[in-house]
Amino acid sequence: MRPVLSVTSECAPLVKTGGLADVAGALPAALAPQGWGMRTLLPGYGSVLKALRRPKTVAEFPDHFGGKARVLSGKASGLDILALDAPHLYDRPGTPYLDAGGIDHPDNPQRFAALGYAAAEIAKGALGDWTPEVVHCHDWQAGLAPYYLRNDKIGTVLTIHNIAFQGVAPAYLIDALRLDRSDFTQAGYEYWGQVSTLKAGLRYATRLTTVSPTYAEELTTPEFGMGLDGLLRAREGDLSGILNGIDTVTWDPANDPATVPYKTAKGKARAKKRLRKEFGLPETDGPLAVVVSRLSHQKGLDVLLDALPALIDRGGQLVVLGSGDRALEANLRKAADHPNVAVHIGYDEAMSHRIIAGGDAIIIPSRFEPCGLTQLYGLRYGTIPVVARTGGLVDTVIDASPMALRAGVATGLQFGPVTAHALATALLRLIALHRDPTTWARMQKNAMATEVGWDASAPAYAALYDEVAGA
């Protein structure tokens, strides 16, 4: 096996706030058959250290961004983990990024610089008996690793999962973050007078990827590049889009312990009945639409609230599971006053399975979406995705256009732009399709037959590692 180091702040099932964790957690198993043996470097959060089986100290850093640190190696949930055990940085309550009160940890720049620095040390041989040929960095949290490796001949890949998070830190931290002042320029890691760890990664990594081909194109435009589009245009030749897959074992309708398993769409009826019961929804003829999502501006759920009458005035129903933005949580709760709307504010993996299995359709009205995973779960479960025409949603769902319907290939609905009017129109189309049992059954069958695993994308990553390792 050729050695590759994945550097990430999240990795399912050990620590997760979003899809990054699922992808980082799935890559090692996807790449093993391609001949790449991946180890995953994670911050030593409590949940990570607790999960490690028989940890061994494999490197020590006496002065690591304000305290002593060591790298622990061990297996956890079948993954080969390297945990950066640095209690002064990671042993604290809250999420990976926020304190218990929901405010960013004030030393986040140091916490993730420390991760990137440890990755660079490992790439330079700190473990002694294992040195990666390629360092694969995920998002801003790992963005400084390629910078720290800028003078070494080690291939690096930076994957953009979400360009909205840019790892911006004040310039007075330059020394504390172990950055060279001479690179504090527009051509370096400087970003509007501050430091951006994502920009550093985009500037210094050997190759750049993002998680869908359409988002790769979008990123080079001012609308989607969020200030970094110029740099991405300059590096367009080094940027590619490799579509995410999902874990088809965890997400398998035929074998899902969280819900009533089913092999064909027919079996969904029982899962749907159960879901309605769980949420106290009456039996109606209309489609049961569902949402499982972080509640952030990106996800466009405010637009869904505005478009909702189109669905529920015609016998449709909605179940939402999500958490995040407080105002959106409150508005969703208010919408749940309607007898055909149910909302659960919180984060709950098992419930997410029950909801996706029981729904007729899953609504994803994102303003931007690098890839998106829940539409892939929807496809796999015969839960028809209704998606905004953006990013990875474009690349994974075949719109029920007249031609696609005639050709018998439709798997879902796309709409655009992300406005209440366009979404309401899509919801009306959904209701009409749902009323036509033959067409609906065909779409469900197509959806369930869609390839949503890693079979296509794992070789693409392997080919990229190959190129980068030789670079």
Q: Give residues in contact with ligand ADP (CB under 6 A).
A: 18-20, 22, 292-294, 321-323, 347-349, 352, 371-374
Which of ligand GLC, ligand ADP, none is residue 211 near (CB under 5 to 8 Å by kind)?
Answer: ligand GLC
Looking at residue 279, its amino acid is F
Looking at residue 50, its amino acid is K
Name the one range near ligand GLC by CB under 6 A: 5-13, 248-256, 317-325, 370-378: 370-378
Which of ligand GLC, ligand ADP, none is residue 321 near (CB under 5 to 8 Å by kind)?
Answer: ligand ADP
Write phi, then psi, for 289 (nearest 5 degrees). -95, 145
292: nearest Cα among 305, 282, 301, 302: 301
Q: In sequence order, what DSSP letters do the residues of 214-225 get, joined into one string?
A: HHHHHTTSHHHH
The pattern of x and - marking residues 397 through 436 that bind ligand GLC according to CB under 6 A reads ----------------------------------------
Query: Rule CB under 6 A: is residue 111 a binding residue for ligand GLC?
Result: no
Of 154-183, binders to ligand GLC (CB under 6 A) are 161-162
The pattern of x and - marking residues 184 through 223 that bind ligand GLC according to CB under 6 A reads ---------------------------x------------
- DSSP letter at 334 equals H
433: nearest Cα among 360, 365, 370: 360
Pick between residue 190 and residue 218 the one whose CB is nearest to ligand GLC: 218
What does the alpha-carbon distance between residue 189 and residue 18 come to, in Å, rounded to a whole number? Answer: 26
| Residue owning tokens 């040195």 | 131
Instruction: Name the minimum Å distance from CB 12 to ligand ADP.
Output: 8
- Six-digit token string for 225: 């590049």
Which of ligand GLC, ligand ADP, none is residue 241 near (CB under 5 to 8 Å by kind)?
Answer: none
**3-state secondary structure (DSSP) of residue 45:** coil
Among 4, 7, 15, 20, binds ligand GLC (CB under 6 A): 20
Which of ligand ADP, ligand GLC, none is residue 323 near (CB under 5 to 8 Å by kind)?
Answer: ligand ADP
| Residue owning tokens 């009945």 | 273
Pick between residue 130 and residue 347 the one whose CB is nearest to ligand ADP: 347
CA atoms within 13 A on the CB side of 98: 7
User: What contacts 272, CB < 8 A, 6 or more positions away?
Assistant: 288, 358, 359, 360
What does the alpha-carbon distance between residue 228 and residue 251 come to, in Å, rounded to a whole number? Answer: 35
Pick between residue 109 and residue 391 the one whose CB is nearest to ligand ADP: 391
Instruction: Name the minimum Å distance from CB 268 to ligand GLC.
Output: 24
Of 221-250, binders to ligand GLC (CB under 6 A) are 244
Pick between residue 88 and residue 297 the one whose CB is nearest to ligand ADP: 297
Pick between residue 23 and residue 423 the one whose CB is nearest to ligand GLC: 23
Instruction: Name the minimum Å distance from CB 362 to ligand ADP.
Output: 10
Among 304, 371, 394, 413, binds ligand GLC (CB under 6 A): 371
Pick between residue 395 and residue 466 the one whose CB is nearest to ligand ADP: 395
Instruction: Name the minimum Å distance from CB 24 to ligand GLC.
Output: 9
214: nearest Cα among 386, 370, 365: 370
Query: Rule CB under 6 A: is residue 373 a binding residue for ligand GLC?
Result: yes
Do the beta carbons of residue 15 and residue 47 sit within 8 Å?
A: yes
What does the alpha-carbon distance between residue 315 and residue 431 come to, in Å, rounded to a whole number? Answer: 9
Pick between residue 201 and residue 322 the one whose CB is nearest to ligand ADP: 322
Instruction: Name the minimum Å distance from CB 161 to ligand GLC.
Output: 3
Instruction: Name the minimum Å distance from CB 273 to ligand GLC.
Output: 30
What does the alpha-carbon distance between residue 422 and residue 416 come to, in Å, rounded to a whole number? Answer: 6
Q: Is 283 exposed, middle or buried (0-12, 13-18, 19+ CB in 10 A)?
A: exposed
27: nearest Cα among 225, 19, 350: 19
Among 7, 12, 14, 23, binds ligand GLC (CB under 6 A): 23
CA angle 324, 356, 376 (to 5 degrees): 90
Name the one range near ligand GLC by CB under 6 A: 234-242, 258-266, 317-325, 366-374: 366-374
Q: In sequence order, what DSSP letters do the residues of 430-451 get, joined into one string?
A: HHHHHH-HHHHHHHHHHHHHS-
- Six-digit token string for 71: 């790298």
Write phi, then psi, for 419 (nearest 5 degrees). -130, 160
Instruction: Name the minimum Å distance from CB 329 to ligand ADP.
Output: 11
Query: Rule CB under 6 A: is residue 372 a binding residue for ligand GLC?
Result: yes
User: What contacts 265, CB < 8 A, 6 or more positions away?
Assistant: 382, 441, 444, 445, 448
Which of ligand GLC, ligand ADP, none is residue 349 near (CB under 5 to 8 Å by kind)?
Answer: ligand ADP
- Six-digit token string for 454: 């890693």
Instruction: Name the minimum Å distance from CB 165 to ligand GLC.
Output: 9
The residues binding ligand GLC (CB under 6 A) are 18-20, 23, 161-162, 211, 244, 369-373, 392
